[in-house]
Amino acid sequence: MASVTVKHLIDIIMKLLQDEDDNNVWDEQELVNYYNLAVREIISLRPDDNGTFEIIKLASGVKQQAPAKTIKLIRCIRNMGTDGATPGRQIHETTFDMLAAVRPDLSTVSEQSEIQDYCKAEDNVTFYVYPPADGTSYIEIEIAKVPDQLVWDAGGNWQTAQVAVAEQFVESVKEYILAKAYQKDTDIPGNESRAADHYKKFLLTVGIDIGE
């Protein structure tokens, strides 16, 4: 999560819009909505660079699920005991084929409170653990997830919320919002090209090759 607040970023964008175009067809509420779209797009494009850490309780058995709103399970890190607060053994990542080859008893071995290995499924949110969990223990994981939507209201909490991407992508958020803002009214001379230019900058700042 970046150190910049959403309010600070929106203020910068409002100033840029007013300097480039004096039609003043944008307001804070619209720009906050564009912010929500921007952070979701960036996390979807660069999940491994926008991870957050969570402690989750394992379900009983082999098959596990990352928390709701997860875009991608990045990694399982370590056991956290039966209270969720006691650091324990590190968890080793493997593939399903390797796990099945080395642990053919994967689904029949006795359930335990501490896991040793895990592998991720292709859907990026399901994972399998060995030995099967007994449903009493917790682990620490890193995930990329859909951030909570910010709702604009005058003097509201959105103003103090931190931009919900890594610091390196704050500029990407700004460029995405500017692109959306100019795209809103392309009848104004110059706005269509401005929108296209800012979207190209957005793609470049998130590391997308645009072939130029």
Confidence of residue 157 (pLDDT cuts 50, 70, 90): confident
Q: How confident is the model at residue 23 (pLDDT cuts 50, 70, 90)?
A: low
Number of domains observed in the structure of the chain: 2
- Give yes or no: residues 55 and 42 share one domain: no
- Do 10 and 29 have their domain in common? yes
Q: What is the pLDDT of residue 93?
A: 96
Per-residue pLDDT tens over the stretch 82-99: 999 999 999 999 998 998
Global pTM value: 0.86
Domain match, 133 and 186 both: no
pLDDT of residue 22: 56
Task: Write out the residue range of the structural domain in which residue 42 sits.
Answer: 6-48+165-205
Residues 79 and 120 in one domain: yes
Structural domain contains residue 159: no
- CA distances to 35, 124, 159, 180, 181 from 152, rounded to whole Å, are 11, 32, 9, 17, 16
Whether 143 and 67 have beta carbons less than 8 Å apart is answered as: yes
* pLDDT for residue 21: 56
Question: Domain for residue 40, yes or no?
Answer: yes
What pLDDT is attached to residue 212?
A: 58
Non-local (6+) Cβ contacts of 30 within 8 A are: 181, 184
Least confident of 40-44, 96-100, 208-212: 208-212
